[in-house]
Copies of this chain bind each other. A is one copy, B any other.
Amino acid sequence: MALIVQKYGGTSVGDQERIRSVARRIRDCRDRGDHIVAVVSAMKGVTNQLIGLAQGASGPEMHPKRELDMLLATGEQTTGALLAMTLHDLNVPAISLTGGQAGIKTDSVHSKARIKYIDPEWIIRPLEVGMVVIVAGFQGQDDNGNVTTLGRGGSDLSAIAIAAATNADLCQIYTDVDGVFTADPRLVPQARKIDEITYEEMLELASAGAKVMQPRSVEYAEKLKVRFEVRSSLNQTEGTIVKEETPTMEQVVVRGVSLDENQAKLTLIDVPDRPGVAAKIFQALDRAAVNVDMIVQNTRHGSAPSTDMSFTVDRHDLATSRRVIEALKPEFGIEKVQVQEKMGKLSVVGVGMKSHSGIAAKIFDILARENVNIDMISTSEIKLSVVISSDRSQQALRAVHAAFLE
């Protein structure tokens, strides 16, 4: 008999039929003798509806965050109550709890609160008498009893924190994909599901554009040492286990590859090479809420020391970035700004890369043979990313996948 924490995202509880299917899955687990805690998101679309209401009440972005939290928290509370009712209808005793009732204590930073601790008494007592416990995800309560929400990916955080606090045997993150794949199957038909992956690899894949989970949730699971499974609520297929690195894991050099096709690259020509210039440029971009991804700089040695500096941003931030840079041009005497609008970032991830030299060389060789020009390179211990022109990036992805993972 195991204690299983299951998290069901917005698509998994998207309508009444989907909720009923989740309820049946929970019933079947319970029939096998397991204790179930189900953490639920708002039904798909509901959070956006609520945000629409908020924007009607006070212009965009102007709504007080405490009240926005009160409003948004109703979404998960609604799903929880409906799932409990559906379970009752299947003769499964169940109780739904708000985040606050479930003992999820957070700080008071509304709209992106951090979980401080969980007092799991309210979760454990009904479990002990055989009930399924449903917890509204994404939300908690601060020390003064105010409703807080945890920000993007918040329901995953709730599930992981509850799994840790209750010493659960298993934490399952139900979503609409079968697990984590060696590459995006829409781009690489040969991609296959990964059985086990380390937190670090999952993090690097997530930050490289694989959208299964927010990096924040993966970091949190790593910190709390919660092993979890990403799997689909649409079938019975086993998913991907995310956990610490263990000797029994499949020994591979490369675990997966990913491609972010929405990058743009800016190059500032002849930036004066003196301390503080780079800092000021990136501070200005930060103030404009531009996320800078990769940065590369090369110092030229000539009469006046100057440098060429390149960086990538999400393509949606390109216009803003240009405006910011144009405004700084006179102050720093920047000669020229080059823009490459359609770039892709190809990342290769695997804990095996730590101990295998020569991976970079092999990747560069594959790309050369595909006649793909590398614009920028960046590496971490277990990841290598290259920025390339996006018109050949899918071809490059398939070639790298074929070489390492097929």
Contact of A53 with B71 at beta-carbon distance under 8 Å, contacts A66-B95, A88-B58, A95-B66 already known: no
Contact A71 B64 (CB under 8 A): no
- Residues of A53-110 at the interface with B, using a CB-CB cut-off of 8 Å, are 53-54, 56-59, 62-64, 66-68, 70-71, 73-74, 77-78, 80-86, 88-89, 94-96, 98, 101
Given A74-B78, A145-B122: A85 and B58 interface contact (C-beta under 8 Å):
yes
B70→A54 contact, CB < 8 A: no
- Is B122 within 8 A of A56, CB to CB? no
Q: How far is B57's CA from A20's CA once the two chains are assembled, in angstroms?
A: 8
Main secondary structure of the interface of A (DSSP, over half): helix
A190 at the interface (CB under 8 A from B): no
- Residues in B whose Cβ lies below 8 Å from that of A62: 88-89
Q: Does A320 contact B (CB under 8 A)?
A: no
Give every chain B residue within 8 A of A78 (Cβ-Cβ). 50, 53, 71, 74
Q: Is the CB of B101 within 8 A of A85?
A: no
Count of chain A residues with a beta carbon within 8 Å of a chain B beta carbon = 40
Report the minimum CB–CB distance from A134 to chain B (whole Å): 9
Interface presence of A283 (CB below 8 A): no
Are A57 and B70 CB-contacts (below 8 A) given A122-B145, A145-B101? no
Report A347 CB to chain B, min CB distance, Å: 41
Assembly CA distance A341 to B316 (angstroms): 70
Determine the residue in chain B with the shortest Cβ distance to A80: B70
Q: Does A397 contact B (CB under 8 A)?
A: no
Docked-complex contact A88 and B74, CB < 8 angstroms: no
Interface set, chain A 104-163, CB cutoff 8 A to B: 122, 145-147
Taking a contact as CB atoms under 8 Å apart, the answer to whether B96 and A59 are in contact is: no
Q: How far is the CB of A284 from chain B (nearest CB, A)?
A: 31
> Given the complex of chains A and B, what is the CA–CA distance between A50 and B75 in angstroms?
12
Closest to A64 in B: B88
Whole-angstrom distance between the Cβ of A120 and the nearest chain B Cβ: 14
Contact of A291 with B by CB under 8 A:
no
Given A54-B82, A58-B86, A85-B54: A70 in contact with B77 (beta carbons within 8 A): yes
From the candidates B54, B57, B85, B98, name the one contacting A57 in the complex (CB within 8 A): B85
Whether the Cβ atoms of A57 and B82 lie closer than 8 Å is yes
| Smallest CB separation, A100 vs chain B (Å) | 8
A378 is an interface residue with CB less than 8 A from chain B: no
Asked if A16 is at the interface of the complex by the 8 Å CB criterion, the answer is yes
Q: Does A19 contact B (CB under 8 A)?
A: yes
Q: Known: A77-B74, A145-B101. Contact between A85 and B59, CB under 8 A? A: no
Contact B88–A82 (Cβ < 8 Å) = no
Chain A 36-62 near chain B by CB (<8 Å), digits 1 or 0: 000000000000001001101111001
Q: Which residues of A contact B (CB under 8 A)?
A: 16, 19-20, 50, 53-54, 56-59, 62-64, 66-68, 70-71, 73-74, 77-78, 80-86, 88-89, 94-96, 98, 101, 122, 145-147
A58-B85, A64-B84 known; 12 new pairs, CB 8 Å cut-off, are A16-B57, A20-B57, A53-B78, A54-B81, A54-B85, A57-B86, A57-B89, A67-B94, A70-B77, A73-B77, A77-B77, A101-B145
